[in-house]
Amino acid sequence: MFGLFLIVVIVVLGYAVFQNYRKLARAEEAQRAEAFDKACLYVLYNRLSFDEVQKLSLLAGRYMDRLVLISTLKQLRESIDLALGSMNRDTATSRMEFAENCVQEIDNADPFAASPHILDEIHVALTEAQNKFKTVVHVNASRGHAAKAASLKTDKAKRKHLHFAREEIQLGLTAGQGDLAVLKAELAAIDAKIAEVGVLERPNAVGRGSAPNAGEQLGER
């Protein structure tokens, strides 16, 4: 009888220990998942140093889907920054398209390596970038032409690139998708610069309806 009682006690204790182990394991996994979610948000909104990449790789651990997500988020952040910062319209456009492709890859990942709200945050970040892009792609390209004009010596060459700068802003105004107040302010600033170097003379057309990228015209002084 005592032997049976002892067996029951051992079984009950064993079950209790097993349940406690499972509880602790679930808690640790939840903590790791929460830490990974925070890491995803950090990568989404920050450019990473090499050391940070190494630390995040360790955090992802043996989970290949997490490693892939961290890598894709890193590329997404870098592409958005380039798209919103480049003075070359073609470069900016290609990087925004690459950013959109990154999000498409994340959408198609099965299973998704982070919590569902992280996926929502990724889409919010992309949408915000796309909305900014509609304005800054023209502003940055225009400023690139204006910077080129400032580096030239002759008024004729200056007027040529200031015209390109003006035309770039007009493209944005015609599209009507960006911040029109910002674009109009940029246009006024360009017109003021044009007034400083004399009457606007339209240069030979480079392409119908679009200004060239800054730096495409070489050998000007």
Q: What is the DSSP string of 178-219?
A: S-HHHHHHHHHHHHHHHHHH-S--PPPPSSTT-PPPTT-S-S
176: CB partners within 8 A, 6+ apart: none
Residue 109's pLDDT is 87
Residue 207's pLDDT is 42
Percentage of the chain lying above the pLDDT 70 cut: 72
Instruction: Please count the other Cβ atoms lying within 10 Å of the Cβ belonging to residue 43.
Output: 22
pLDDT digits (tens, 9 = 90+) for 196-220: 887 544 444 444 445 676 545 444 5
Helix 64-85 to helix 50-60 angle (10° resolution) is: 150
pLDDT digits (tens, 9 = 90+) for 8-65: 556 555 655 545 545 554 556 667 778 888 889 999 999 877 677 777 776 666 677 8
Instruction: Please count the other Cβ atoms lying within 10 Å of the Cβ belonging to residue 82.
Output: 17
pLDDT digits (tens, 9 = 90+) for 5-16: 556 556 555 655
Place of tokens 């929502």: 120
Residue 115's pLDDT is 87
